[in-house]
Structure 1
Amino acid sequence: MTDQTSESGEIETDFTVGQDNVDGKLGPLGFDIHNPVFAISGLAAVAFVLLTLIFPEQAGTTLSAVRDFAITKLDWFFMIIVNIFVIFCLVLIFLPMSSVRLGGKDAVPDYSYLEWFAMLFAAGMGIGLLFFGVLEPVYHMNVSEPLGVASPIAADGSIIAANVEAARAMGLAATFYHWGLHGWAVYAIMALALSLFTYNKGLPFSIRSCFYPILGDRVWGWWGHWIDILAVFATLFGLATSLGLGAQQANAGFNFAFGLEISTNTQVVIILLVTAVALVSVYRGLDGGVKILSEINMVIAILFFLFVLAVGPTLVGLNGFWTGLVAYTKEIIPLSMPFGREDDAYREGWTAFYWAWWVSWAPFVGMFIARVSRGRTVREFIICVLLIPSLIIFIWMGVFGGIAIDQIITSPETSLVKANVIDSYSPELSLFGMLNELPFTKVASTIAIFLALVFFVTSSDSGSLVVDTITAGGKIDAPVPQRIFWCVVEGLIAIALLIGGGLAALQAGVTATGVPFAVLMLAMCYTIFQGLRSEPR
């Protein structure tokens, strides 16, 4: 890194280095080995899978302890850091440096807006829309009670009319908070850093490159190796959580529609089958596999959403979106406060886990967004990445959550949503409980299952490409055998976590990697600012 003084007296920093700073070699199995990231990450991942499968009870106990510590002792840590990410992104939009174009002033976007949004949609949202779209608004309305808003359901199951509207609004607002600006700011930070230092500074497409303003040439040594290794594990565990949730929901859907047994063994088979399909997409690459599946995914999701909106209580669904949006706008600051609140179950059990999950997904989604965002200005990039996906999620969860809440309020005795979410807490069945009270239940349930599986595949294949890129030293065209290896490893980690403790184990993997990676991402805010300062505008 060299510093130069301009005529105005300002310091101009040149971070540009060549690709030859990364030492890579082709291994005997056709792997493009970035020494030693691939070896350490691969061996550690395989060892984790084997130990978890050999000692499932001990693994489950350990993972649960890790999760409990992270979400109860470090909830303030996650909330403060993610708040900083949001503020940084919003401030950056209004600074003159946001006119910088990713890829240089003459760069043009590689994908149209429709193609770009489709890939953002499929990779960044995934199974969460289906798994939490009904579950979370209903749960927050009744059980977690964010900001002290009382439940509308009395102990005897009757409805307390005076509490209904406030609880409905808060249930939706609390859900929007977890899926809106805060989460997408995490992705924006990672994606912007990667885009800037890869396309504008000529650095390898790897997480370590984002820290060149701080570490200089040391990013090509062990400092950089450990950063990339941590990014690999954050990605693997973040994806494994989504794959595990997807398998649980698909299994629940098959049980609801066709009577298939709900069991860990069934979920393992689902993961194996979906991983096999993902392998085909991984083999075909970004444009031939991931892009096509993302567009198919978006079309199916839109059709499914329109189907539910049309055959369900349309005005109730639309009102759910509007109610949630207004309440979210009003309550976003109180919900963001890490201290001085009494809703510990909501803040620790949901918010802390979510922020750890978003941070763990950041290397995966951030690298994926960066790969498809060349040619956008920084301002355009931040606005679109923050607002467009958030708005889509708000519409989806407002409609699905609004309809489900209405079903509980109007028919608490017969509502399957209430039975699944509140009475027995079977979260994977929440969506199908809502569909049960709509026309064409079996058709809608079948579409939901298929959509969950497609989301499953797009997360797995795009995640494999990202891990592949990190372990190959930033190369985006690493050999096919390496892509296949990581796709298989992702599926095996999800299986190991399911066997070693179920949902608690999935959450533990996310929080364990989320803590250190959140600190790295905080440093990225500084490096982004430094990098943009040195760009001509």
Structure 2
Amino acid sequence: MDAKVSARIKTRPPHRSAVASNENIQILGLDVHRIVCPAAVLMIVALVIYSVSDPASAGHFLNKAKDWTIVNFDWFYIIAGNAFVAFCLLLVLSPAGNVRIGRGETRPEYGIVSYFSMLFAAGMGVGLLFWGVAEPLAYYTGWSHTPLNVPKETPEAVHAAMGATLFHWGLHPWAVYCIVALIIGYFAYNRGLQNSLRSGLEPLIGAAHKGWIGHVVDIFTILLTTFGLSTSLGLGAMQAAAGMHHVFGTPNSFAMQAGFIVFVSVLSALGVGAGMHAGIKLLSNINMALALGLLIFVIIGAGVVSFIAGLGSSTADYAEYFIPLANWAGRKDSEWFRGWTVFYWAWWASWAPFVGMFIASISRGRTVRQIVISVMIAPTLVALLWMTAFGGAAIHQAESGVGELAGGIKDVTLTLFWFLEALPFAQLTSFLAVILLAIFMVTSVNSGCLVVDTLASGGKETTSGFQKVVWAAVVGVVTLVLFIVGGDDALKAAQAGAIALGLPFMALMFVLMLGLFKALIGEHKKRAW
């Protein structure tokens, strides 16, 4: 046997498939937890029926719940986001950063390029593609209010737009993902507990985390993941169909949108069935290469000198506006603040369970410090490059009266394609954008399905490929039912529900964060001896 392979087998932590084996049952050939899986499926079905039976009523109720959490707990969201960033920086600077995720001398399974590609594709690749043009332009033109009430379409508005956009896509969201990844990774791969957020409760409530409290956490995570992915897939289908219609004249119809959902679902099933290396890793690497190609094209097409100057300016804008935007007290721009920043923080929270758990699964062998730096700093730098290239050039088009963006945002789903239309080879780059959108969605659904499958099976990571494919089908079917029967209203109702659930998740994270720090310090002291 090859020495390197032998070493990897020896150092890899023992598989924990037996963690909940006595609580698992066989249903239609699927190996699932006897409580978590049936309860989660029943709740998914109930929520889908509720959303599509009366989309207007469901939307009204769930939007009221979302608005109530955002209006009454805006301060909590901002404090929590700031605390998570501070906590991650503390881990980098403290001795706890030396702790390696994994037992013994476990070493990273994935190289830095593949590792970064996978975490980025799962975390927010779709969002950057969708909002890279639209968000800075929205702030600059006052499409939906302006950050800190800066006068729209002024030189100051340019700086505020870039600073606010980077604030939303920089350190804060990745801190949420990073903490979830560390909680799950440490307790699963160092303590041998179940691969779930429930394990983070063990230092606080002991063996009780294996009981009904842990079941509730797992069911909650499955619901957030399923509906977070479904709403993103449905809204992504709307952008893809609108873009194809605008560029190639194909029908912007329910059939095209549903076709996109089916296409992504089938690719997701193939990818998740193929496994991590042959599926998710390969797709993530392809997607990052295509995204890099599109980024380079935009930089060249919009002007390299302008991009370099904008890069320095955007960095300064992020630093200048970081503290004012992180402040929650005495804000005069409450409509913008709640409609954008607090909404984003709640949305990141709704995605954090599955993105964080996925990051944990690919981070074994790295130290806490390495994970924090990789997960927070590298994506923030990519967001800086992307937003400067796309957002900065879009604002310049609006300022200069170039193309469709001269009139501001008319249709947010078409903003990216209008931007590309003003550059050379518009049809080619627009088609590439649609392909990127599809593959980014595939990688997000893939990673989410792996997480749901692990939770539904009681913490097992080596279930059959068929079982993983079933969960990809579930996400696709939920999206199609919401989209076809309830339309945009049902999708937005489901999204509002997921965002409302972000509040209790943020509160749970505070508790888990304290338990993690205590455990990491104890681990460091033990290893020092």
**TM-score, scaled to structure 1:** 0.90
Equivalent runs, 1:450-529 vs 2, <5 Å: 450-498=435-483, 499=487, 501=489, 504-529=492-517
Find the residue that maps to 2:514 and give its secondary structure. Answer: helix
Cα RMSD of the aligned pairs, angstroms, is 1.9
C-alpha displacement of 1:491: 2.3
- Matching residue within 362, 376, 379 for 1:372: 362
Count the aligned residue pairs. Answer: 506
Structure 1 residue 401 corresponds to structure 2 residue 386: no
Q: Residue 137 of structure 1 aligns to which amino acid in structure 2? A: P
C-alpha displacement of 1:534: 2.2
> Matches of 1:517 and 1:32 in 2, distance apart?
27
Q: Residue 528 of structure 1 aligns to which amino acid in structure 2? A: L
Per-residue CA distance 1:336-358 (angstroms, 9 max, x = gap): 11121111122111111111111
Match of 1:124 in 2: 123
Match of 1:351 in 2: 341
C-alpha displacement of 1:130: 0.8
CA contact (8 A) 2:171 2:380 kept: yes
C-alpha displacement of 1:257: 0.9
C-alpha displacement of 1:315: 2.4
C-alpha displacement of 1:275: 0.7
Structure 1 residue 228 corresponds to structure 2 residue 228: no
C-alpha displacement of 1:484: 2.2
> Matches of 2:308 and 2:492 in 1, distance apart?
34
> Matches of 2:69 and 2:311 in 1, distance apart?
32
> Matches of 1:40 and 1:288 in 2, distance apart?
32
Deviates more, 1:512-521 or 1:23-32: 23-32
Match of 2:179 in 1: 189
- Matching residue within 206, 219, 228 for 1:216: 206
Match of 2:148 in 1: 147
- Matching residue within 200, 204, 207 for 2:197: 207
Match of 1:245 in 2: 235
Match of 1:91 in 2: 90
Deviates more, 1:179-188 or 1:60-69: 60-69
Q: Residue 417 of structure 1 aligns to which amino acid in structure 2? A: L
Q: Residue 147 of structure 1 aligns to which amino acid in structure 2? A: L
> Matches of 2:386 and 2:201 in 1, distance apart?
37
Find the residue that maps to 1:501 and give its secondary structure. Answer: helix
Match of 1:33 in 2: 32
The structure-2 alpha-carbon separation of the partners of 1:264 and 1:325, relative to structure 1 and needing over 3 Å to count, comes to farther
Q: Residue 291 of structure 2 aligns to which amino acid in structure 1? A: A
C-alpha displacement of 1:293: 0.6
> Matches of 2:374 and 2:347 in 1, distance apart?
21
Match of 1:73 in 2: 72
Per-residue CA distance 1:355-391 (angstroms, 9 max, x = gap): 1111111111111111111111111111111100111
Structure 1 residue 271 corresponds to structure 2 residue 270: no
> Matches of 2:398 and 2:70 in 1, distance apart?
30
> Matches of 1:284 and 1:142 in 2, distance apart?
45
- Matching residue within 427, 452, 456 for 2:412: 427
Match of 1:340 in 2: 330
> Matches of 1:301 and 1:17 in 2, distance apart?
35
Find the residue that maps to 1:27 and give its secondary structure. Answer: strand
Per-residue CA distance 1:40-71 (angstroms, 9 max, x = gap): 00111122223323323322322332332233
Structure 2 residues not aligned, in runs of 5+: 1-13
C-alpha displacement of 1:279: 0.9
C-alpha displacement of 1:18: 7.5
Per-residue CA distance 1:267-291 (angstroms, 9 max, x = gap): 2332122111211111112112111
> Matches of 1:80 and 1:264 in 2, distance apart?
41
CA contact (8 A) 1:57 1:500 kept: no
Per-residue CA distance 1:78-136 (angstroms, 9 max, x = gap): 11111111111111211112111111451211111111111112111221011000010
C-alpha displacement of 1:19: 6.2
C-alpha displacement of 1:262: 2.9
Deviates more, 1:502-511 or 1:60-69: 502-511
Q: Percent identity among equivalent residues?
A: 41
> Matches of 1:343 and 1:496 in 2, distance apart?
38
